[in-house]
C-alpha cells in the first residue's frame, strides 16, 4: 500500500515532509514483528499511528488492545496487565484475565509508557524478552504472543538518566522509534487538517460547511497549537457549532484559542520555544508558566468587567455570576461607597497567593527575590517559582486532594506526586 493510500485509509492528513517520513516508517515497520516506540507530544495522534501499524501488519485479523498506563493506579497496574487469581488480594473474588492475555496473537498498545511504575516495568521486560508472565497471586507461568507498541510524550532517555525508567526496558522497547512532530513544526498541515475537520463535523451536525477567510487562515497557521491535532479538532467543532453563516473569520476563532485576546494581541503570553537539549520537564514548566500568565490576562479582563458593572446605573449589591468562588472571595458592593473600584477589586484573592508556607515556597521566593535584587523587578517570576506556586495553590484550593489538584493542573497524578517529592527534597536540602 502506497503512502497516499495509507493516509486516506487511516485519516492521516498532511503533505509535509515530516508526516510523509512518519508514514514511510509505518509502512516499513508494520510488516515486521519488531516492538515500536512512538514518541510525540500529547494530541499529535500517536494512537492513530499505532492503529495503522497494527492494521497494516500480519496481525490485523486479531484485536489491537489499547492500554493507557497513566490512567491505571499504581497498585492495580500489574493485575490489569497480567490478570489476577482468585484470592490474590482483598476483593479478588474470581480469576480475571489481563490485557496481555486478551492481546494474545494480536497487538497491545501501551500508551503513556513513561508513567509505568518500576515494579511493573520488570514484569513487562520479561514479557518482551520471553513472552512469559504470571497472573498476580499465581505461580503458573503463562505464555503470550502479543506485539508491543508503546507510546510516550516524555523523553525516555532522560527518564532513564533520572532512574525513573529501566534502561534495559528502554532499549528493548525502542527497537524502532517513530517520532511524530508537533503541529507547530509542520505548519503546512494545519489548514488541510482544520478544513477536513470542518467538513466532517458539518456533516455530523447536518449543517453547511464553512469557508475560512484569509485572516482566519493566517491566525490558524501562526498559532502554536500546544494541544496539537486534538486542540485543532476541538476548535473546529466549537466554530462549527457557534458560527452562524458560511464564513469563518478571525473573531470567530479568537475566543477558542488559548491566550489570544479579543483584540488579537498576544504580547502578554509566554512564547513556547524549544531550546536545543530541552527536556520534557522543561516543557512541562513552560506550559505551567504559560497557563499562569494567561490566567493573569483573564483576571485583568474580569477586572475591567467588574469596573464597568460597578459604574453602570442600577448595579446590584453583588453578582455571584462573575466569579465561581467561596463566599470570602465574592465581590460585595454594600458598605463600600467611599472606596474606589480598584480598592475592592484588589481585595479579591485573584492572585496566586498562599496562606501557609509550603515546603518549596521559601526556596522559590528566595530565587525570585534574588532576580529582583539584580535589577529585574519588572520581569516575570522564574519558571520554577511559577510552577511551584501553581502547584501549591492547587493543593490549597482542593485541601490537599492530589487527584483533584492534578486534574485542575492538567497533569497526571504520578507527575504531581513526583513534583511534590522534588519540592520536598529541595526543601530538606535547603535546611
How far from 426 is each of 197, 213, 430, CA to CA, in Å? 46, 51, 6
Q: What is the pLDDT of residues 27-50, one digit of tens each?
A: 999 999 999 999 999 999 999 999
What pLDDT does 140 receive?
A: 87
Q: Are 247 and 345 members of one domain?
A: no
Q: Are 198 and 334 members of one domain?
A: no
The model's pTM is 0.60
Do residues 66 and 95 lie in contact, with contact meaning Cβ atoms separated by under 8 Å? no
Q: Angle CA(268)–CA(194)–CA(283) in degrees, nearest 5?
A: 45
Kindly state the cell numbers that stand for 23.
508514514
**345 lies in some domain:** yes
Q: Are 247 and 224 members of one domain?
A: yes
Q: Are 404 and 361 members of one domain?
A: yes
What pLDDT does 279 receive?
A: 62
Q: Are 242 and 307 members of one domain?
A: no
Do residues 54 and 98 lie in contact, with contact meaning Cβ atoms separated by under 8 Å? no
**374 lies in some domain:** yes
DSSP for 380-427, written as a single string: PPPHHHHHHHHHHHHHHHTTT-HHHHHHHHTS-HHHHHHHHHHHHHHH
**Which of 124, 146, 181 is the C-terminal boundary of a domain?**
181
**Which of 149, 181, 213 is the C-terminal boundary of a domain?**
181
**42 lies in some domain:** yes
Structural domain span for residue 93: 3-181
**71 lies in some domain:** yes
- CA 192 to chain centroid, in Å, comes to 23
Kindly state the cell numbers that stand for 410.
492538567
What pLDDT does 244 receive?
A: 86
Q: Are 175 and 214 members of one domain?
A: no
- Could you tell me which residues come within 8 angstroms of residue 347 by beta carbon, excluding any fewer than 6 positions away? none
**271 lies in some domain:** no
Q: Give the chain's domain count.
A: 3
CATH number at residue 196: 1.10.8.60
Q: Are 166 and 194 members of one domain?
A: no
Q: Are 404 and 358 members of one domain?
A: yes
Q: Tell me the H-state helices in 131-189.
A: 156-161, 167-173
What pLDDT does 405 receive?
A: 84
Q: What's the CA gap between 2 and 327, in Å, rounded? A: 62
Q: Are 212 and 83 members of one domain?
A: no
Residue bearing cell 485542575: 408
Q: What's the CA gap between 365 and 186, in Å, rounded? A: 39
What pLDDT does 137 receive?
A: 84
**Which of 156, 181, 206 is the C-terminal boundary of a domain?**
181
- Could you tell me which residues come within 8 angstroms of residue 308 by beta carbon, excluding any fewer than 6 positions away? none
Q: What's the CA gap between 292 and 364, in Å, rounded? A: 15
**263 lies in some domain:** no
Q: Can you list the residues of the chain whose pLDDT is less than 50?
A: 261-276, 314-361, 363-364, 367, 371-372, 375-378
Do residues 299 and 350 lie in contact, with contact meaning Cβ atoms separated by under 8 Å? yes
- CA 105 to chain centroid, in Å, comes to 32
Do residues 230 and 42 lie in contact, with contact meaning Cβ atoms separated by under 8 Å? yes
**215 lies in some domain:** yes
CATH number at residue 87: 3.40.50.300
Strand pairing category for 132-133 and 142-143: antiparallel
Q: Are 241 and 322 members of one domain?
A: no
Q: Are 168 and 243 members of one domain?
A: no
Do residues 272 and 371 lie in contact, with contact meaning Cβ atoms separated by under 8 Å? no
Kindly state the cell numbers that stand for 337.
461607597
Do residues 19 and 12 lie in contact, with contact meaning Cβ atoms separated by under 8 Å? yes
Kindly state the cell numbers that stand for 97.
484475565
Q: Are 192 and 176 members of one domain?
A: no
**270 lies in some domain:** no
Instruction: Write down the number of H helices and E strands in the chain.
Output: 18, 9
Q: Angle CA(307)–CA(298)–CA(210) in degrees, nearest 5?
A: 110
How far from 421 is each of 359, 402, 425, CA to CA, in Å? 10, 13, 6
Amino acid at each position: 500500500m502506497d503512502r497516499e493510500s495509507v493516509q486516506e485509509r487511516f485519516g492521516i492528513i498532511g503533505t509535509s515532509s515530516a508526516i510523509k517520513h512518519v508514514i514511510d516508517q509505518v509502512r516499513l515497520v508494520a510488516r515486521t514483528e519488531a516492538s515500536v516506540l512512538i514518541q510525540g507530544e500529547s494530541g499529535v495522534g500517536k494512537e492513530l499511528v499505532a492503529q495503522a501499524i497494527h492494521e497494516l501488519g500480519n496481525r490485523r485479523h486479531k484485536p489491537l488492545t489499547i492500554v493507557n498506563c497513566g490512567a491505571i493506579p499504581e497498585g492495580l497496574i500489574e493485575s490489569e496487565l497480567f490478570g489476577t487469581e482468585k484470592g490474590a488480594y482483598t476483593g479478588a473474588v474470581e480469576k480475571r484475565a489481563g490485557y496481555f492475555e486478551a492481546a494474545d496473537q494480536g497487538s497491545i498498545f501501551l500508551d503513556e509508557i513513561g508513567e509505568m511504575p518500576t515494579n511493573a516495568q520488570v514484569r513487562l521486560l520479561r514479557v518482551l524478552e520471553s513472552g512469559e508472565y504470571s497472573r498476580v497471586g499465581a505461580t503458573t507461568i503463562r505464555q503470550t504472543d502479543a506485539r508491543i507498541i508503546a507510546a510516550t510524550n516524555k523523553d525516555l532517555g532522560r527518564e532513564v538518566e533520572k532512574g525513573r525508567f529501566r534502561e534495559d526496558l528502554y532499549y528493548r522497547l525502542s527497537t524502532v522509534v517513530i517520532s511524530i512532530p508537533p503541529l507547530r513544526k509542520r505548519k503546512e498541515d494545519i489548514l488541510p487538517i482544520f478544513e477536513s475537520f470542518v467538513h466532517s463535523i458539518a456533516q455530523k451536525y447536518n449543517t453547511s460547511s464553512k469557508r475560512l477567510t484569509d485572516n482566519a487562515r493566517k491566525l490558524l497557521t501562526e498559532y502554536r497549537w500546544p494541544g496539537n491535532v486534538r486542540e485543532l479538532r476541538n476548535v473546529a467543532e466549537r466554530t462549527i457549532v457557534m458560527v452562524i453563516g458560511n464564513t469563518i473569520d478571525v473573531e470567530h476563532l479568537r475566543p477558542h484559542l488559548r491566550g489570544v485576546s479579543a483584540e488579537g494581541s498576544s504580547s502578554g503570553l509566554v512564547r513556547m520555544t524549544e531550546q536545543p537539549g530541552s527536556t520534557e520537564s522543561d516543557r512541562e514548566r513552560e506550559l505551567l508558566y504559560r497557563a499562569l500568565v494567561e490566567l493573569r490576562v483573564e483576571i485583568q479582563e474580569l477586572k475591567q468587567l467588574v469596573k464597568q458593572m460597578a459604574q453602570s446605573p442600577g448595579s446590584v449589591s453583588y453578582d455571584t455570576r462573575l466569579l465561581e468562588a467561596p463566599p470570602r472571595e465574592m465581590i460585595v458592593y454594600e458598605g463600600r461607597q467611599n472606596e474606589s473600584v480598584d480598592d475592592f477589586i484588589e481585595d479579591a484573592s485573584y492572585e496566586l497567593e498562599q496562606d501557609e508556607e509550603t515546603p518549596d515556597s521559601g526556596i522559590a521566593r528566595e530565587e525570585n527575590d534574588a532576580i529582583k535584587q539584580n535589577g529585574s523587578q519588572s520581569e516575570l517570576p522564574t519558571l520554577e517559582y511559577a510552577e511551584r506556586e501553581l502547584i501549591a495553590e492547587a493543593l490549597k484550593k482542593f485541601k490537599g486532594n492530589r487527584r483533584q489538584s492534578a486534574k485542575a493542573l492538567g497533569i497526571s497524578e504520578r507527575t504531581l506526586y513526583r513534583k511534590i517529592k522534588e519540592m520536598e527534597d529541595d526543601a530538606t536540602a535547603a535546611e
